[in-house]
Amino acid sequence: MTIVIALLLGILFLAFTVWSIRFIASGPPPEPSLDTVHSVDVPYLCTVCGLSLTVTEAQDGEITAPRHCREDMVRAI
Alpha-carbon distances of 25 from 14, 22, 29, rounded to whole Å: 16, 5, 12
pLDDT given for residue 13 in this prediction: 97
Q: How confident is the model at residue 21 (pLDDT cuts 50, 70, 90)?
A: very high
Q: Which residue has the higher pLDDT, 13 or 28?
A: 13
Instruction: Tell whether pTM > 0.75.
Output: no
pLDDT given for residue 18 in this prediction: 97
SS3 of 5, please? helix
pLDDT given for residue 4 in this prediction: 96
Beta-bridge partners for 47? none
Over the stretch 22-61, which tens digit does the pLDDT of each residue have?
999 998 888 878 888 889 999 999 999 999 999 999 988 7
